[in-house]
Each structure stands twice: as C-alpha cells, then as structure tokens.
Structure 1
Amino acid sequence: MRTALLLRQTRMHFPRLDVDQITIKPIEKGGSDRKFYRIDCAADQKLILVKYNLDREENRHYVNIAQFLDTHGIRVPKIYFHDPVEGLIWIEDLGEQDLYSYRHESWLVRRAFYESALDQIATLHALPESVCVEIKEHLPAEFNAELYRWEQNYFFRNCLGRYFNIDKAELAALAALAPLKEIAKWLASFPRVLVHRDFQSQNVIIQNGQANLIDFQGMRPGLAYYDLASLLYDPYIDVAEAERAELIAYYRGRQLENGITIDGDFDLTLRLCAIQRLMQALGAYGFLGLVRGHKNFLQYIPRAVRSLRHIVAKVDNLKPLASFLEELREESSGAAS
C-alpha cells in the first residue's frame, strides 16, 4: 500500500494531528510479513502504523491480544485504531530502543532492563487459567508434541538442509532420532501457561527504563521455560553464563512471589526448551534468509549453532546429535546461494 494512501487514512482517523508536519517512514526490521511505518507529526504526536496480511490468521488477533495483555497489567503498545477491512492498526510509538540496542552496555545497565523484561513475562506466566480463557479463541494452537516436532523438523529442513546442505539421508536419520520424539512428548506432558513464543531482545522495547513487550501475536499456551530460554539463549546477543545464572535466579524469585512453585528438574526442562527454541530460531533464519531473501538473518546462525551445540552436549541421550553438531562447520556456502 502506497505511503500517500496510508497518510490519507491516518489523517481521516486522526483529524487532530498536525497534518502540515506529518511524515511517514518505513521501519525496516525483522522478518515479519507485516509492514511497519513510523508516523511523526510533532514531538508529542507519534504513531506506529502496522499493515498486516489479511490471509494470515494470527495477524487478525493482534489487537485482541494487545488489549488483553494491557488489561492484565502487562506493558504493551496501546491500540489507537484498528481497521480490520484494510488490515491497518495504529498503535503507540514506544521508541526505537529495544533490549538488543543495549547489548554493548555494562551488565549493571543491562541487568536492570532484563529484570524489567522478566517482570513482564513472569506476570504473563502467572495469569490463572480462569483469566486465560478470556483470550483463548484468539490464540494459535497450543504447544503440543506435534508443534515441538514441527520445530525440530523446521530446523533440519531449513537450517541443516538449506543452509548447510546436509545430505537428505543424513537429515532423515537425525530427524528420526527417538530421543527427539521423547523430548517432544515429555515437554507436552506439562501443564501450560500463556507464553509470548518470541520473547527475545528485539521484541522488548525499553521506554523510560521499563520493558514493554511487542510482537506477541504468536502468544499461546505453552511452557514458561520456553520463554525464559528464548531470552537467555537469544542468538542476537551473547549472554554470559554468570549473567544467565543471575537472571534465572531472578525469574525463579518472581515466580515464587507470584505463588508459583517450580516442580521437577528445572535445569533439565529449561535445557530442553532451549534446544527447541534454538531449533525453531535456526529454522527461521534459514527460511527467512534463503527463501524469503532476508540475508541479514544468516549472520546469527553461527552463534545459535554454538549455543545449540553447547546445550545438546549436556543431554545424555542426544549423543548422536551432539556428535553431528560438533563436526558441523558454522559457516556454509548456503549463505551465498
């Protein structure tokens, strides 16, 4: 949709804006099929305009999810106007400083922002089932064994297959490993809470020192460990082991404050969710980089592979996969194809 038309629609829905000074600029970020625009009129007149694909189911539920989260005390952009016919949403502009943009700051600075992000996600995870049913009809399918297996196969197909050009027979053998199926079934056996599903540094906006969540349209019932792993093993940022340990302790403290006791083997469950999340992310990087043409995502594959290798090596029954990853070169000719 042309920017002139977007401006005309903005003026129509927001007649009090200073139309003489209005500008609109595309925001080039992420691999979403949605398009984002920053609308700037004056110092106190800023908006983000989202143009979404009407054919994609989860896009149509963004507004309902945003309003649900806001109602229950989770900081997200406010919704100003929604045009479901055109697939347009005008939302609050929280600024350009995401958690990722602070990656070079000292841990003392970053820790406060990470803790603020964990406060928000812990609040989401603590919502009781009686509250969660309010939004159930607007959510994608819950995490189950089939979805965990899909994530695994997404990794084999789009990362190992497309990016690393691994032989199909070898891929099939790895994908068929019995322990991977067991992990999917085991994770699916736990009670679920609402999870963000893409809780990483570029989806946390820092405004006035506080974390705000964005890109939450994939929210669904799943394991809290999955969100925690998404942030702690974020391929966009190097998080040191000592920093990770501090954040785990902080999150567990927040859970206890919310009256949530953590049963079972916390470390093992977090580790397995980290494997799942990294497989999903690596599959996405391969797909977005080589199929959708967003080559910038390919630069994050080496770091994500290193993290996956490190975690898989700690799981006893995944030795065949650990051995394979140990021999895998982190750079590939697939990046140039």
Structure 2
Amino acid sequence: MKSIVHNLPGFEDLIEKARTISGAVEKIRVSPVFGDGSDRKFFRIFCGSSSLVGLISPRVGKDSTDENDSYLLIGNHLHSKGLPVPRILYAEVREGRFLLEDAGDLHLENFVNSRRTNLKSIYSHVITMLGALHRKAPQGFEPGFCFDTALYDPSFVYDRELEYFRESFVNGCLGLDIAADELRPDFEALAEAAGVHKSSFVLHRDFQSRNIMVCRARLWLIDFQGMRFGPPAYDLASLLIDPYVRVPEGLQAGLVSMYWSSAGKYLGGSKGDFIRKFEAVRLARNLQMLGAFGFLGVTKKKKQFLHYIPFAFEQLARHLPKFGRMQFPRLAKLVSAIRRRGLSNPRGNLVT
C-alpha cells in the first residue's frame, strides 16, 4: 500500500537519486518518518542493507534566502567542522528536495524515557556535544546562512518570543484578552536582558531532546536550520527546561556548572555574567515555549502539544520570582492570575 509520501511532488525523482547514491539494484522500500511541529515531510528510504532519509520541504522564499537554503548551508558548515549532524548527500534547494544520512529514529527523549538511563551520565555527553557546537560552529559562520534573521537581538526576542507568548498562549490558547501595552515595559526589559546587539557566537535555538538523536552509539544533532548569532546560554536553557525530558532542578544546576567549567574558557566574561544571561534567556525561552505549544495545539490543531503546557507553565511560575518582585511586575501579576484561574480556555476545557 502506498503511503502519503508517495504523492509528494518530486518523490519519484528523489527515489531515483537515492538509488544512484546507494548503488541499490533491488527494490527500494519507503517508510514515512512522522515529524513533530514542522510541516516538512521526512521518509526513510531502504536501499538493500542501507538506508537514507528523504526530505521534501516546499520552498517559501522564492527570491530570498529560504529555510531550505539555510538547511543546506548550515548543515554543510557544521559537517565541515566535524560536528555530529547528518551528512547532506543530495540537495535541490529550489525544489526543496534532500537526501540525508540516516541518524536513526531514536530521539534523546525516547532514549531517556524508555530506559533506566543514568540521566546525569547521558546529559554529560549532551553538554559535551553542546560545548563543541558552541566552540566550533562560529568559525566561518556567515549571516547569509540565516533565512530568519541572523542575530538573536532584543527586537527578535520581543517580537518572536515574548509577543508570541502573549498572542498564541495567553490570548490564543487561554482565551484571555491582554493588549500588547499591558506587558510592554516588562517585555522590553526582558528582551534587552536576553538579547544581544552583536555576537561572535552562534546558537541552535531549538536545542532540546527531540532534536538530538541517539544512533550508532553516538549523539546526532538535527533541525539546525534556525541557527543564528547570539548567546550560547540560550541553548543550555532550552535543553534544561525541555518539557519532553523533565530534568530535575538539582541536576540542572550541576549541568550549568559542567557547561561553564569547559565553555567558560572560550566564552570569556565572568561566571556571574553568564548566569545572569542564562536566567534571562531561560525566561524568554520558557515564554517562547508556551507560545509554541499554544500555537501548535490550538492554531495548528496538534493537540498533543497541549499536554506539555502545565509543566512548562509551572517552570515559568517557579523561575520568574527569582528576578524579584519589581523587575517584571506586570508579567508576574499575569502569571499569578493564570495560576488562580487555572489553565483553561473560555469553554472550561483544560489545555492538558
């Protein structure tokens, strides 16, 4: 029986390319790879005893840098630095067709949650991989690689993370009616604290357990097309507050220290400065995450993402008071009000 991927534009051409690359003479089998929040289509191509991954990603930007361009440019760049990303074996960026090295189907999330795994041990390896990414990736990384702005600056933080939280989670998911001006002073202050006006470092921007694969006894990093210049602490925060693997608070603190003990040598500055930036980007990421779950769960109707909102919201409620009452008073008041009313929409349905 043919699956939905067989009807994708360019599918047959991609299969023939896979046959050529693999040298397969026997019949090729195809199996869909079900994605997460993305609309891109992945599928595994079995060529005899080997396999490749096919990707079909319709182009959006016809006359400007598109996500497909970034995927190719950044993927090749990271591979050239010896970083553990799937090799891009074939790319037709104008048509959005790719063949990739197969990094398996075991996400770090599933590896951790389905086994009696020593969390500290496996996450120490993840921290090592993250440190290597932050050390090696900036070498030769170009602004032109980035399709979606090249810098994690305050305006990006404000528009794409903090306002995303207000529009897609507070209003869109919970059904409240909070105007932009009600949170503007707090959001402007947080955007300034989290963002940077220039940076020689890069961040992945979605460094979490569903974008880390475990295959052939090593870790692999995927979904790197959103990389840009910015504070490396953002990726560390993304990993530690990841709702898919609930890293205990005590272990989170230990992993922050582990990261700093190696990365501090090339990041520069003091550990105190690093921790302050980490706490700011952790709060921004937490808000972005809630916005994303609201958008995916309500607007895109991918209801499975609503399940992660309660944990993400409790993390927000736990971390926000660490800034003190007066730093973000409007946001604190809103979070307190939501806790009192509960995580429900106007129809009384829980978002879980």
Tell me the TM-score normalised to structure 1 length.
0.89
Counterparts of residues 1-337 of structure 1 (less than 5 Å): 2-3=5-6, 6-15=11-20, 16-18=22-24, 20-43=26-49, 45-56=50-61, 57-104=66-113, 105-106=115-116, 108=118, 110-127=119-136, 131-132=139-140, 134-139=141-146, 140-141=148-149, 142-150=151-159, 151-166=161-176, 168=177, 170-176=178-184, 178-189=185-196, 191-192=198-199, 193-256=201-264, 258-263=265-270, 264-316=272-324, 317-328=327-338, 329-332=342-345, 333=348
Mapped to 2, the partners of 1:117 and 1:71 lie a distance apart of: 20
Contact map agreement 2:212 2:222 (CA 8 A) in 1: yes
How much has 1:190 moved relative to structure 2?
A: 6.2
Contact map agreement 1:113 1:211 (CA 8 A) in 2: no
Mapped to 2, the partners of 1:248 and 1:164 lie a distance apart of: 33
Deviation per CA, 1:270-306: give whole Å up to 9, x if none: 1111111111111111111211221111111111111
Amino acid at match of 2:191: A
Number of positions where the alignment pairs a residue of Structure 1 with one of Structure 2: 328
- SS for the counterpart of 1:30 is coil
Question: Residues 51 and 266 of structure 1: is their aligned pair in 2 closer, same or farther, counting only changes over 3 Å?
Answer: same
How much has 1:226 moved relative to structure 2?
A: 0.7
Contact map agreement 1:113 1:210 (CA 8 A) in 2: no
Contact map agreement 2:209 2:244 (CA 8 A) in 1: yes
- SS for the counterpart of 1:95 is coil
Of 228-237 and 204-213, more deviation after overlay is shown by: 204-213
Mapped to 1, the partners of 2:55 and 2:210 lie a distance apart of: 17
How much has 1:196 moved relative to structure 2?
A: 0.2
Mapped to 2, the partners of 1:234 and 1:14 lie a distance apart of: 38
Mapped to 1, the partners of 2:253 and 2:217 lie a distance apart of: 22
Q: Percent same amino acid at aligned positions?
A: 27
Q: Which runs of 5+ in 1 are unaligned?
A: none
How much has 1:265 moved relative to structure 2?
A: 3.1
Of 218-227 and 233-242, more deviation after overlay is shown by: 233-242
- SS for the counterpart of 1:47 is strand
Question: Residues 13 and 24 of structure 1: is their aligned pair in 2 closer, same or farther, counting only changes over 3 Å?
Answer: closer
- SS for the counterpart of 1:66 is helix
Contact map agreement 1:68 1:135 (CA 8 A) in 2: no
Amino acid at match of 1:83: E
Contact map agreement 1:195 1:219 (CA 8 A) in 2: yes
Question: Residues 158 and 128 of structure 1: is their aligned pair in 2 closer, same or farther, counting only changes over 3 Å?
Answer: closer
Deviation per CA, 1:129-159: give whole Å up to 9, x if none: 6x24x43211131111111101100000000
Amino acid at match of 2:144: E
Question: Residues 335 and 84 of structure 1: is their aligned pair in 2 closer, same or farther, counting only changes over 3 Å?
Answer: farther
Amino acid at match of 1:152: L
Question: Residues 315 and 180 of structure 1: is their aligned pair in 2 closer, same or farther, counting only changes over 3 Å?
Answer: same
Mapped to 2, the partners of 1:2 and 1:213 lie a distance apart of: 24
Mapped to 2, the partners of 1:69 and 1:269 lie a distance apart of: 25
Contact map agreement 1:127 1:194 (CA 8 A) in 2: no
- SS for the counterpart of 1:302 is helix
Amino acid at match of 1:237: V
- SS for the counterpart of 1:217 is coil
How much has 1:11 moved relative to structure 2?
A: 2.2
Contact map agreement 1:229 1:270 (CA 8 A) in 2: yes
